Structure 1
Amino acid sequence: MSPRRFRVIAVQPQWHAADFTSARAFRAWMRAQFEAARPQISPDRPTLIVLTELNGLPLVLRGGGWALGLRTFERVAGALFLARLPRTLPVLLHERVSPVRALQLADSDANTQLYLHTCRDLAREYGVYVCCGSAPTPRYRLWRGRLRRQPGVLTNQTVILDPDGALIGTADKVYLTPDEEAGGVDLSAGMLDALRVFPTPVGDLGVAISLDAFRPDVIGHLEAQGCTVLLQPDANGASWTALEGLPPDPANRRDQPVAWLESSWAVTARGGQIRYAVNPMVVGNLLDLTFDGQSAVTGPAHEAPQLRGYVMTEPRPGFLALAPWVEDGAPEHLRRVGRYLAAHSGHPRENAYRTAVLHADLTLPVMNRPMPAHTPHERALQAMLTDTVRPSRRVPWVLLGLGALACALWRKR
């Protein structure tokens, strides 16, 4: 049989808080990414478009444009929690979660549906496979013909769709950054054993969201299942030219581009089971949060002999495609530019990031692995995608929650 020949596209978009304050604005922002990728979609071979990490997280702002003047994500989230108290308080009390997780869970059914339907419609319209990036996603199951959400669970999850908009599979992020844990947006960690590989015409796809791509146990787990194309959706929440220090060694402070060489590039450079990797990175300031990076497609050195490199690193083979940063220069100059670009810098160059669309044509042997069966959660999402099921109506926890709060206050008297 003929080998698989296909194209991968990594989209590096810029986001703004206003892109998420309405369903219409979100759909327009997502469509703009596909329109930017349109010239690179192959007319004669399957194409996979890979979007960025947490591109569904800011949907928590939907309907909250009035609060953006508070300028920081923490203040805006607090204001939205109070404004939506009839929805957020019952979740907080009944599911015993933090206010920030309750805020996200309170509207998670509607936001998950908007996110998935938008990606489904774009996959169909543009005729492409899509790795939807990732979004905070509840765990669902089907129960008596309706969707039921597992209380309290909210993972950083990607969804992979085929050109018909049907669900191929999902993957949760296993290793969360401090900003994703209890002191930040408070997400639930995924489980390593739940990560699977999905054989498709556009590669045997394994997903390692952001920090997961730096972790040998994640990479080893995917390689053992036959992964040939690693998908690394990313949202690096810092200036690209700042110093990095993340678990397990936060004291090991390095330039972020140097640290990034330990993810996708290192995985494909060593010539193992994983032959290619696609690492799109979002840029832009979201209220007081800064996101920056250089998207890349990497592969074996002999397929990418041209010497390229992230800023502040030595050029090397292995980059099939690499987005340029905003400029080149000496490290100290680049660190200064990074500070200018960052949120609330007040500099004329604030938020002046560079967007990009990268593509590469890849070839792999014919696939010979079976597709893993859908999990109960994936069957529930597929039902959501096909509009055959709706979220289950819940008990009116508002009254029960307010009653519980009143009892708690009375006991403290």
Structure 2
Amino acid sequence: MRKLLYITLALVLIAAITRYGAWTQDRPEAHYLSDLRIELAVDQGVPAGHGNLLAIQPELFPTDYQSSKRLHRKLAAYLQEARDRGLVSAKTIVVLPEHIGTWLMVSGEKNELYQATTLKEAMNWLAVSNPLPFFKALAGAKGDSRVDDAYLRMKAKEMAKDYQTLFGGLAKEFQVTLVAGSIILPEPSVSQGNLQVGRGALYNSAVVFGSDGQPIGQPQLQIYPRASESGYIHGDAREAVQVFDTPAGRLGVLIGSDSWYPDNYRKLDEQQAQLVAVPAFIMGKGRWEQPWPSDNGAALGAAASKPGATSEGEAWHRLTLTSRPALSQARGGASVFLRGQFWNLGTSGQSFVSSAGQTFADDGSRGARLLNLWL
């Protein structure tokens, strides 16, 4: 009798595991009507044959990441609108926002994840739907926030492949140089034209793609992650600030908070950077108008201001030194923010372009925006 009971329990357990395994593999793609519209918010200067910086501030939601093809459709629609307006040429540098690639970690998941009401619930679905990759990633996680590390590490190879296919493909399709925002990956590098991942710490990194769809140089790693991300994103002040040769000029990329530090502009000046792209991201609705957080005091100290005495938006404008004589020799720059709603977390940030010591900004209205600076 006891033997029969054990056999029955074993069969039930096997059936349950088999059913759970089948459930994790069942991932039908839900229908979704995406808003492909985008407005031209800033068109500064006149065409002079020197090219342009084109910042694309998208409005994205979790369902846009259900597949890389869906995200491609939306971003390609934005670029097609820019092309129709005469803003795309062989000398165009397109700049996308920070973490636009990071959210690829939720691509190809079950509908329950996209229908979640909170980010925490969505991440729980991510782990439950990928039990073996999650626990493997958790075992190799680094830093203080091991669970956050595991979420990002578990699909790193697929994320890197999708990132290069998507953004390299867009660069080639529209024949532009494309600063592909950023993506968090473990020890990213480019080898034989392919974006690779390692097993070490996570880095917030940006890849610049040429009009042939191939990466230019190595990924630019973020040097100074924000305090809220330091538990799982690694930064190192010894990391190099690169300059990329493009048809429009020598380009430097400062990811998010790296654009606050004057020393980074000095390093770009030493390499004769002419243009600066700043992919940026601010999580939280209304943060742009709220006081600058005190944990960023080190950067603000360099700008002779005090935390809490200025708003987040004012601080971004003050600390972005592009095209300000004596502080930055670059003749133009673009800072572009990711907008949209990611479960219960909103986003903030008003993109802007800089030229001749002046700043030209989006007005903060809802919807996707184009900001163009003729060089």
Q: Is the 8 A contact 2:89 2:176 kept in 1?
A: no
- Range 132-141 or range 46-55, more displaced: 132-141
Distance 1:145 1:259 in 2: 38
Q: Is the 8 A contact 2:142 2:201 kept in 1?
A: no
| Identical amino acids, percent of aligned pairs | 21
Deviation, structure 1 residue 145:
12
Deviation, structure 1 residue 44:
6.1
Gaps of 5+ in 1: 302-317, 327-352, 363-413
The one of 307, 313, 325 equivalent to 2:364 is: 325
The AA in structure 2 aligned to 1:171 is: Q
1:176 corresponds in structure 2 to 225
Q: How many residues align?
A: 313
Q: Is the 8 A contact 2:334 2:352 kept in 1?
A: yes
Q: Is the 8 A contact 1:285 1:291 kept in 2?
A: yes
SS at match of 1:136: strand
| Residues 115, 149 of structure 1: alpha-carbon distance in 2 compared, 3 angstrom cutoff | closer
The AA in structure 2 aligned to 1:211 is: S
1:85 corresponds in structure 2 to 131
2:7 corresponds in structure 1 to none
SS at match of 2:53: strand
The one of 311, 317, 329 equivalent to 1:255 is: 311
Distance 1:47 1:213 in 2: 22
1:389 corresponds in structure 2 to none
Work out whether 1:52 is the aligned partner of 2:97. Answer: yes
TM-superposition CA deviations, 1:228-278 (whole Å, max 9, x none): 1111011122322222215342971121221122233x3323354222111
Q: Is the 8 A contact 2:160 2:195 kept in 1?
A: no
Distance 2:201 2:63 in 1: 27
Distance 2:193 2:228 in 1: 36
1:109 corresponds in structure 2 to 157
Distance 1:149 1:283 in 2: 27
Deviation, structure 1 residue 158:
0.8
1:226 corresponds in structure 2 to 272
1:403 corresponds in structure 2 to none
TM-superposition CA deviations, 1:45-67 (whole Å, max 9, x none): 51111111100122222214312
Q: Is the 8 A contact 1:52 1:281 kept in 2?
A: yes
Distance 1:145 1:361 in 2: 30
Deviation, structure 1 residue 94:
3.7
The one of 251, 255, 258 equivalent to 1:205 is: 251
Work out whether 1:65 is the aligned partner of 2:78. Answer: no
TM-superposition CA deviations, 1:309-346 (whole Å, max 9, x none): xxxxxxxxx13x422223xxxxxxxxxxxxxxxxxxxx
The one of 154, 165, 168 equivalent to 1:120 is: 168
After TM superposition, the score normalised by the length of structure 2 is 0.76
Q: Is the 8 A contact 2:296 2:307 kept in 1?
A: no
1:159 corresponds in structure 2 to 207
Distance 1:261 1:70 in 2: 35
Distance 1:31 1:38 in 2: 10
Q: Is the 8 A contact 2:161 2:195 kept in 1?
A: no
1:267 corresponds in structure 2 to 322
The one of 300, 320, 324 equivalent to 2:356 is: 300
The AA in structure 2 aligned to 1:103 is: Y
Gaps of 5+ in 2: 1-47, 299-305
| Residues 64, 135 of structure 1: alpha-carbon distance in 2 compared, 3 angstrom cutoff | farther
Q: Is the 8 A contact 1:41 1:47 kept in 2?
A: no
| Residues 208, 141 of structure 1: alpha-carbon distance in 2 compared, 3 angstrom cutoff | closer
SS at match of 2:178: strand
SS at match of 1:233: strand
The AA in structure 2 aligned to 1:130 is: L
Superposed structure 1 runs of 4+ greater than 4 Å apart? 40-45, 140-148
TM-superposition CA deviations, 1:72-106 (whole Å, max 9, x none): 21232133123312111112214556122112211
Q: Is the 8 A contact 1:81 1:103 kept in 2?
A: yes
2:339 corresponds in structure 1 to 283
Q: Is the 8 A contact 1:9 1:40 kept in 2?
A: no
